[in-house]
Structure 1
Amino acid sequence: MADPDSATDPVTDPVTDADADLRVRTADVLLRSLGTLSTAATGRMESDVSWFRDLAAEDRSWVGVIIQAGIRSFVDWWRTGGETEPADTTLATAVFGAAPRALAGVITLQQTVDLVRLAIDVVEEHLDLLLGGTDSGAVHAALLHYGRELAFATARVYARAAELRGAWDARLEALVVDSVVRGDADAEVLSRASALGWGATRRGRGGAGGPTGRAAGDVCVVVGDVPGDGSAPELVAHLRRQAGDVATDVLGAIQGHRLVVVLGGVTSPLAAAAALADHLGPGPVVVGPVVGDLSSAYQSAREAVAGYAVAAAWPEAPRPVHALDLLPERLLAGDRSAADHLVRRVHDPLTEHRSALVATLTAYFAEGASVEATARRLFVHPNTVRYRLAQVADVTGCTPTDPRDAFTLQIALTVGRQRTAGLTSE
């Protein structure tokens, strides 16, 4: 008898308190009614659950198998007294083990929970009819207990599967990014990128030239420092959200102390890099030039990585900075491709121009960037010097009166003269 001074009576468990004869007797009845119960549950799903009606016939039949396995698993557990909590893996295997693994890609977690709830409701509705009011009480309580454990076990199994899939995707993503950086983006790598969703957004929005106004290509690579907090998958997922307005595709991976991000569907590489800059580490953020597709992204990656390696040599560099704006630093660090860029983008256009731009620029630098002194040296009017300097800016994109651009122009002229004189290899 309960203590009258106590607030509540001890809580009893109808599962373990039920006598063995009751459990065996009711379990036998439920087992004989297994077909009736599973048929009723399947029929309820046909009438009440829209997603079930949209399944293929084979998938619907597998759902029926799952329902029957769930009811049988409960009956077996109830027969043995339910003395131990069903383990996640044991419970999930008993109920869902018969179905093919491909079915997990068809039915979501929410749909699975709906499936469990509906099956429990159907069995509950039939308990009184099958067992009678005297025997059904304890079974009702046990069924609710088992259904709760099954729902929790299902959620945990889905969560573990999602974690495993996330870890696998992260490794695959790191492999794809590494292949892009190394220039090994062959057909196999492109297939892996597609499996990660690369290009799916643009295809879903109309493909090349679709409603987004972005071409199927337009790929660039951004390199920056790794932030001090967060794991690689979480960091890349965060960057993917931040880049949503400036890129349709994002792949990222941590490589040592640097984070390499490949962006697809970009319209402006600097704007795309700026959207990520505040979410990277405190160091430089360097963006490579836009290329046509993922298979060519190694070109952008090569420029971005080379620029990132020397960005500290330009303390006043903007953040983000384009890799081609770091050509002088890259050249001084021994980057031969930087010399090629400077010759093609600066020296050759100047020498091919019909005006005496190289001579004017050389005199301008020799005279300490004085327009008047340059005019006296060349025996021309100062306005002629100013006009030619403006032409230099138009031809090369570098303004001679800007200290940074002047540095780039001097380096480019020096490299061009060396190559013209045969002092360096092409």
Structure 2
Amino acid sequence: MTNIEPTLGGTSVRDIVLGNREIVDRIITAIAPTNPEQHGTGDASQAADIRWAVEHSLQAAADSLTGRPNDDELLRASAVRRFEEGSSFSSVIAAYHRGVAVIWEQLRAHAGREDDATLAECARLLFVHLERITSALAADFERTWTVSRLGERDARFAIFTALTQGGDAEGEAHRSGRTLASRYGILVVRLRRAEDSSPGDVIARRETQRLRSAIDSVAGGEVLAVLGAAGGTALVPLRDGGDTIEDLRRALQAGFGRNCTGAWVEAGISEIADALHVAEELLEIALAIRGEGEVHTLDDLLLEYQSARPGPGRALLARRIDGVGDELLQTVDAYLASGGDRRSTAAALHVHPNTVDYRLGRVLTLTGMEATTPEGAAQLRAARVANRLERAAHERLDG
């Protein structure tokens, strides 16, 4: 555009945009539905702060259309205030687009047949204006959202820490304006990461977000969690009438398959710190004896949990199978997993059923525990748990 002050129908574009007070009212009417709570309706939509923002937006649009320097700071400050008051990004952007649409209709109404080139240039400049405003508001919204998110994260972490360490959780919740659930499910989860994944890369961040989304999909937005690429801990509020653990199992299975292993314990607020220790032990037991891919409860691992209590009893129980070779132990595991079915055990191991009988007989000779009797099977199961946990404990000390 070569003319600094372009005209349409003999009237300067600047006067078309700024010279008619009715355009302010039309814009206010147009933007009110985008966010009635913030913009108001009827007389409320004529509030001074709304009118002020629209008038300054018109001034900015007129500057863009006539090639004048444009200071967006006042408009951005107004938008930031809307964000801080709870307006969504989409509602603020929609309001600007509706306002520009009213300006465009005003310009088009004044244009004559000879003004096609000027009108086209006005359209281009309005698009440039919208692009600049949208980009600036997106950056401001991101900053506002980040500050809000950091505050939200800090508040959640303070409550999480208080609950898991026996602190003043009620006080932390009160300070952040939150309400605690009466009971929580404590989920401790471990993810098996891909070999090419590292804590700082995109894959790791994506896995963390997938884990958070899977948990939130079951429990809603009030989960208190510390999660990372390797897993973490989540406190899930329990509500009446729901089967949270089964829903979580399905969500984690769908999202991660056998790459996710977890433990779940339910507790009241005052019991969470102790319940967390139980959940951590259950996860350790599950990884040691059940392998990966499930979320376990205390009911699932009750015998194993009791057998795993640290102390001289566990060490003595573990030593009872120290002299048993890996092939025999593999046979014991398969036999116990099959519920004592020798043919299923043989099929799983790709051997003859008589071979299973022979190996179990060797175990009886070496340990004095007979897998084919209820008492012997229970003793062997407990010994396997104790042995694996003792080995894991020694490996941690050696490492």
Relative to the length of structure 1, the TM-score reads 0.55
Equivalent residue in structure 1 for 2:213, among 238, 242, 250: 238
Instruction: Please state whether the residue corresponding to 2:267 is helix, strand or coil.
Output: coil
Q: Is residue 2:125 matched to residue 1:142?
A: yes
> How far, CA to CA, are the matches of 1:254 and 1:75 in structure 2?
50
> How far, CA to CA, are the matches of 1:168 and 1:235 in structure 2?
22
- Asked if 2 retains the 8 angstrom alpha-carbon contact of 1:242 and 1:275, the reply is no
- With over 3 angstroms needed to count, the CA separation of the structure-2 counterparts of 1:186 and 1:100, relative to structure 1, is same
- Asked if 2 retains the 8 angstrom alpha-carbon contact of 1:310 and 1:333, the reply is no
Q: Is residue 2:233 matched to residue 1:260?
A: yes
Cα distance, 1:227 vs. partner? 4.9
Cα distance, 1:253 vs. partner? 1.3
Aligned to 1:327: 305
Residues 109-139 of structure 1: per-residue CA shift (max 9 Å, x gap): 3322331122112222333667877676343
Aligned to 1:274: 249
Aligned to 2:355: none
Q: Which protein is bigger by CA-based radius of gyration?
A: 1
Aligned to 1:220: 185
Q: Specify which structure has the bigger relative contact order, considering alpha-carbon pairs within 8 angstroms and separated by 6 or more residues.
A: 2
Equivalent residue in structure 1 for 2:62, among 55, 75, 78: 75
Equivalent residues in 2 for 1:280-295, closer than 5 Å: 282=259, 284-288=261-265, 290-293=266-269
- Asked if 2 retains the 8 angstrom alpha-carbon contact of 1:227 and 1:282, the reply is yes
Letter in structure 2 aligned against 1:306: E
Letter in structure 2 aligned against 1:57: A
- Asked if 1 retains the 8 angstrom alpha-carbon contact of 2:369 and 2:379, the reply is no
Equivalent residue in structure 2 for 1:186, among 150, 163, 169: 169
- With over 3 angstroms needed to count, the CA separation of the structure-2 counterparts of 1:40 and 1:307, relative to structure 1, is same
Structure 1 gap segments, 5+ residues each: 1-16, 200-215, 336-366, 373-398, 412-426
Instruction: Please state whether the residue corresponding to 1:252 is helix, strand or coil.
Output: strand
> How far, CA to CA, are the matches of 2:111 and 2:13 in structure 1?
10
Q: Say which is worse superposed, 131-140 or 259-268, in terms of deviation.
A: 131-140
Cα distance, 1:239 vs. partner? 2.0
> How far, CA to CA, are the matches of 1:100 and 1:158 in structure 2?
7
Aligned to 1:389: none
Equivalent residues in 2 for 1:8-407, closer than 5 Å: 17-22=1-6, 26=12, 29=15, 32-33=18-19, 35-45=21-31, 51=36, 52-54=39-41, 57=44, 60-81=47-68, 91=72, 93-98=73-78, 101=81, 104-127=84-107, 137=119, 138-159=121-142, 161-162=144-145, 165-166=148-149, 168-191=151-174, 195=178, 217-228=182-193, 229-231=203-205, 234-244=209-219, 249-254=222-227, 257-265=230-238, 270-271=245-246, 274-275=249-250, 277-278=252-253, 279=255, 282=259, 284-288=261-265, 290-293=266-269, 296-315=271-290, 319-323=294-298, 325=302, 326-328=304-306, 330-332=308-310, 403=378, 407=382
Instruction: Please state whether the residue corresponding to 2:224 is helix, strand or coil.
Output: strand
- Asked if 2 retains the 8 angstrom alpha-carbon contact of 1:225 and 1:284, the reply is yes
Cα distance, 1:277 vs. partner? 4.6
- Asked if 1 retains the 8 angstrom alpha-carbon contact of 2:163 and 2:169, the reply is no
- Asked if 1 retains the 8 angstrom alpha-carbon contact of 2:225 and 2:234, the reply is yes
Relative to the length of structure 2, the TM-score reads 0.58
Instruction: Please state whether the residue corresponding to 1:302 is helix, strand or coil.
Output: helix
Instruction: Please state whether the residue corresponding to 1:287 is helix, strand or coil.
Output: strand
Cα distance, 1:297 vs. partner? 2.5
Cα distance, 1:57 vs. partner? 3.4
- With over 3 angstroms needed to count, the CA separation of the structure-2 counterparts of 1:190 and 1:132, relative to structure 1, is same
